[in-house]
């Protein structure tokens, strides 16, 4: 019987693992909530496939050599990012690797457009007022989403779903991508430059990768090109946004709101419960308290559907490798 060991399994993922196992009675999948490290690698003895989601914990020679010595050469990731992996060592020890590059784009697109709508309607401000028993209407009057122009930067898997959702509100949608999608182009949704999008949009949502050339796409210059009272949603990557520039623009009143799901210094900060402890990042502490800023800790993706897809695709990929096939999620290196 083929045996898979999955490291770093969260409770929500265990549900998806159990569902997958029910459909694959010929495969044994054992799980641990420990991450894969040189110390935990011996737990993989007797297994054929190692399945991981590391989120910042490196997988280098100390770990890979141990797995190879145990006869394991299949490593499947439950997420997209391969930054934690030492590819030279993966090559040296003859590993097959897969990741999950596409899982429920709707999870992220929904989150981004929900936050955009909340910013236009000043929902956070209203929630805080109601929590304080202030049930007066004024001055918390909102802007209807359908009357806004929403600018989608990046029209890949996620950006395209965000467009559909924004159109569902009845908003005017414009888009910018370096490589235009023919279907969207035929619908006349594209503007030719990022500057045009910045100049026309009331709400800007970022759906491009955090590659070095996109570092600080949103900076003092690009903010100056935006409409007064624009709002920005960043559920892309933290490094797309110069956070200090956004804070300055919120302070000056140039920007009306900001929703931040990804943050340039989020490593070690997000996905940790800081309740009752000193909060380590004064800038985020400040942003969290602002009524026109909505912070979420990189949870745009965090839905049952996405969790299920990440688990299922990674287990499927492990099975395919084991059977001598190449899954579509193979990482080439």
Ligand X SMILES: NC(=O)c1ccc[n+]([C@@H]2O[C@H](COP(=O)([O-])OP(=O)(O)OC[C@H]3O[C@@H](n4cnc5c(N)ncnc54)[C@H](O)[C@@H]3O)[C@@H](O)[C@H]2O)c1
Q: Which long-range contacts (CB under 8 A, 24 or more apart) does 110-113 make?
A: 110/161, 110/165, 111/235, 111/261, 111/296, 111/299, 111/300, 111/301, 112/158, 112/162, 112/205, 112/207, 112/233, 112/235, 112/259, 112/261, 112/300, 113/162, 113/165, 113/166, 113/169, 113/205
Q: Residues touching ligand X: how many (CB under 6 A)? A: 26
Task: Note whether 155 binds ligand X by CB under 6 A.
Answer: yes
Q: Which of 298, 308, 309, 312 is catalytic?
A: 298
Is 179 a binding residue for ligand X by CB under 6 A? The answer is yes
Residues between 286 and 305 that touch ligand X (CB under 6 A): 298, 300-301
d(CA 203, CA 120): 8
Q: How far is the CB of 162 from ligand X (least distance, A)?
A: 9
Question: What residues are paired with 150 via a beta bridge?
Answer: 173, 203
Which part of the chain contacts ligand X (CB under 6 A), choosing from 37-45, 206-214, 263-271, 314-322? 206-214
Contact residue for ligand X among 28, 40, 214, 292 (CB under 6 A): 214
- Of 73, 207, 237, 312, catalytic: 237
Rounded CA separation 149/289 (Å) = 27
User: Is 123 strand, coil or helix?
Assistant: helix
Minimum CB–partner distance for residue 157 and ligand X (Å): 4
96 counts as catalytic: no
Among 157, 167, 200, 219, binds ligand X (CB under 6 A): 157
Residue nearest ligand X, Cβ-based:
156
Q: Does 208 bind ligand X (CB under 6 A)?
A: yes
DSSP states of 83-120: TTB-HHHHHHTT-EEE----S-HHHHHHHHHHHHHHHH
Q: How far is the CB of 225 from ligand X (least distance, A)?
A: 14
Q: Which stretch binds ligand X (CB under 6 A): 68-76, 147-155, 185-193, 321-329?
A: 147-155
Which of these segments, 121-129, 230-238, 245-253, 275-283, binds ligand X (CB under 6 A)?
230-238
End-to-end CA distance of the chain: 29
CA atoms within 13 A on the CB side of 176: 19
Q: CA-CA distances (angstroms) from residue 327 to 20, 96, 318? A: 17, 10, 8
Stretch that binds ligand X, among 2-10, 53-61, 149-157, 273-281 (CB under 6 A): 149-157
Catalytic residue check, 266? yes
The contact pattern for ligand X, residues 83-122, with x = CB under 6 A and - = no contact, is ----------------------x--x--------------
Q: Does 158 bind ligand X (CB under 6 A)?
A: yes
SS3 category, 151 = strand
Answer yes or no whether residue 176 interacts with ligand X by CB under 6 A: yes
Let me know the angle formed at the C-alpha of 235 by 233 and 238, rounded to the nearest 5 degrees: 100
Instruction: Name the site residues for ligand X (rule: CB under 6 A).
Output: 105, 108, 153-159, 176-179, 207-210, 214, 235-237, 261-262, 298, 300-301
Annotated catalytic residues are 237, 266, 298
């Amino acid at each position: 019987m083929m045996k898979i060991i999955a490291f770093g399994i969260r409770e929500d993922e265990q549900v998806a693992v159990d569902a997958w196992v029910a459909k694959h009675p010929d495969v044994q999948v054992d799980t641990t909530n420990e991450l894969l490290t040189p110390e935990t690698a011996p737990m993989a003895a007797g297994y054929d496939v190692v399945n991981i989601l590391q989120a910042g914990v490196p997988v280098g020679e100390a770990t890979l050599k141990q797995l190879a010595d145990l006869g394991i050469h299949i490593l499947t990731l439950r997420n997209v990012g391969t930054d934690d992996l030492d590819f030279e060592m993966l090559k040296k020890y003859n590993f097959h690797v897969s990741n999950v590059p596409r899982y429920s784009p709707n999870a992220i697109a929904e989150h981004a457009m929900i936050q955009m709508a909340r910013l236009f309607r000043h929902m956070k401000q209203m929630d805080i007022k109601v929590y304080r028993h202030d049930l007066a209407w004024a001055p918390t009057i909102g802007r209807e989403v359908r009357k806004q122009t929403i600018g989608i930067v990046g029209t890949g898997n996620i950006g395209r779903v965000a467009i559909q959702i924004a159109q569902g509100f009845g908003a005017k949608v414009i888009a910018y991508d370096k490589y235009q999608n023919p279907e969207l182009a035929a619908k006349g949704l594209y503007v030719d430059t990022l500057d045009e999008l910045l100049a026309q949009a009331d709400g800007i949502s970022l759906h491009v990768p955090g590659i070095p050339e996109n570092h600080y796409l949103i900076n003092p210059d690009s903010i100056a090109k935006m409409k007064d009272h624009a709002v920005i949603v960043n559920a892309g990557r933290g490094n797309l946004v110069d956070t200090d520039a956004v804070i300055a623009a919120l302070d000056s009143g140039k920007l009306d709101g900001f929703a931040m799901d990804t943050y340039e210094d989020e490593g070690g900060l997000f996905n940790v419960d800081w309740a009752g402890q000193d909060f380590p990042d004064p800038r985020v502490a400040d942003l969290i308290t602002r009524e026109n800023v909505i912070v979420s800790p990189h949870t745009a993706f965090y839905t049952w559907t996405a969790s299920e897809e990440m688990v299922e695709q990674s287990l499927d990929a492990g099975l395919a490798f084991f059977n001598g096939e190449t899954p579509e999620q193979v990482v080439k290196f």
